[in-house]
Every structure is written in structure tokens, then in C-alpha cells.
Homo-oligomer: A and B are copies of this chain.
Amino acid sequence: MNSKLGLLEPLESLSMTDRVENILREYFTENAFKPGDALPNELEIAQKLNVSRNVVREALSRLRMLGMIEARPRRGMIMSQPDLLAGIEKVLNPFILSQSNQKDIFELRLILEMGIAEFLFARKTQKDLDELELIVEKQKTLPVLSKEDEIEFHGKLYDMTGNETFQRFQSLLFPVFEHVFASMTNQKDNYVLVDPVSHADLFRILRDGTPEAFRKAMHKHLEVYYNTIKK
């Protein structure tokens, strides 16, 4: 009778707060709430749902954190434009993320670096190229590139994509990326690796070449990371 009981998932016992959170989000969606729209007040919601104001406030607190709603003291709440990355930002902590998630993020960064090529070529401007060249020239004089130098160059690339979310997303992913790579290369190999493709090479291709050539070069540039990918 109890055979295979281990396969049974524990049926999720949602707290009142969880349920109210879900109900509210559905309510917003189904009634096509748009940014600026006024929300019912807390007491009204509590009474309609037959829960305490505490529970409602705990649920609203979550939505407020996501930027989905805005509470203006003494003037009621309104719908708002959520912050796309607010939720993920608070969670990107290498010490509490699962190994699996950390690996996923490591790979996500590699994918982004390869994927942005089309956008770079579609949107590059002379001003952008000049600024990137400045960075490259400065780095040429350095004996070795620091973490900050890497961020400066690649950050500028994300900048040039004209996509604000990429830019911010990448800066959020980078610390985790670094952490994963550091833990993979067991600290012992602290040698400075010579890039087979330098930032200067990437710059030249971005200026004169094609997306195809850029992706090829970027792949070479990131070779040391791609080499860690296991089947």
C-alpha cells in the first residue's frame, strides 16, 4: 500500500500570504491593471478576501519589492512599472546559490558575450568606437589586465548594445561568474594567461569586420572559459 510513497510530492501547503499574493497578481492581470491605476486599499482587500490586514500587507510587501506596485502613504496604492531585475539581483549571492544555478549563470554570461554581436554591429556609433578605442589603448600600456579592466572593456560592449537590461544583467552576473571560475581553477593556477585574442583584436574587428568574425574572435577570447564546459 505504501510502496512508491516516496514518489509522492508533498502537496504544497500555501500560507495565506502566498495565496493572497497569487490572487492579487491574477487580479491585476485579469483586470488589465496598467501602471498608474489606483488599487483598492488594504482594508478593502483584507475584507474582500476575508483575511487580516497583516496577511494582505505581507503579500503587498512582496509586490512592492518587485516594483509592481507603489504605496503612497495616505494616498493609496497605484500600479507601477516593475523592476525587471530587482528580484534576481537580491538572490545573486554565490554563497547561497546552488552549484547548479552558479554553473547556469557562468554559462549564461558566455552565451551573452557571443550573442550580442549582431546588436553591436547594428548599433555601433563612431562615438562608441572612439570610447572603446580609448579603453583599448590604455590597456595596451598595462603589463597585465585586472578584473576591473575586463569589466571596463566588456561593460562598454554591453553599453554599445543599446540594451539597458543587458548592461545591468551582465554586471549582476559577473561576480558569480568570477566566483565560479575561481573555484574551478583551484586557485593554484594563478598564472596570467595570455589572451589568444586581445581586446585590441576585438576592437578592430568590431570597427572593420563582421558579426560573424566578431563571434569567432570572441569565442577565441573566451576560450579558457569555454574549455571548462563539460559534456
Q: Kindly identify which residue among B65, B85, B107, B122 contacts A62, using a CB–CB cutoff of 8 Å.
A: B65
Stretch from A113-121, A143-151, A182-190 that touches the partner: A113-121
Bitwise interface map of A from 218 to 231 toward B, beta carbon under 8 Å scored 1, else 0: 01000000100101
- A104-B165, A212-B216 known; A33 vs B118 contact (CB < 8 Å): no
User: Is A231 within 8 A of B122, CB to CB?
Assistant: yes
User: Is A21 within 8 A of B165, CB to CB?
Assistant: no
User: Is B84 within 8 A of A97, CB to CB?
Assistant: yes
A75 CB to closest chain B CB (Å) equals: 14
Bitwise interface map of A from 15 to 29 toward B, beta carbon under 8 Å scored 1, else 0: 001000100010011
Can you give 21 A-B contacts (C-beta < 8 A)?
A29-B93, A29-B95, A34-B96, A57-B58, A66-B90, A66-B91, A84-B88, A84-B101, A84-B104, A85-B88, A88-B88, A103-B163, A104-B164, A104-B166, A110-B118, A114-B114, A114-B118, A122-B229, A212-B212, A212-B216, A215-B215
How many copies make up the complex?
2
Q: Is the interface of A mostly helix, strand, loop or mixed?
A: helix
In the complex, A164 Cα to B68 Cα: how many Å? 27
A160 CB to closest chain B CB (Å) equals: 12
Given contacts A108-B163, A114-B118, 10 further A-B contacts (CB under 8 A): A34-B95, A61-B62, A66-B90, A68-B90, A84-B105, A87-B91, A111-B112, A118-B219, A123-B231, A212-B216
In the complex, A79 Cα to B91 Cα: how many Å? 12
- For the complex, is A100 an interface residue (Cβ under 8 Å from B)? yes
Q: Kindly identify which residue among B34, B54, B80, B119 contacts A107, using a CB–CB cutoff of 8 Å.
A: B119
Chain A residues proximal to chain B, CB less than 8 Å: 17, 21, 25, 28-29, 32-35, 54, 57-59, 61-62, 65-68, 79-88, 90-91, 93, 95-98, 100-101, 103-105, 107-108, 110-119, 122-123, 161, 163-166, 169, 211-212, 215-216, 219, 226, 229, 231
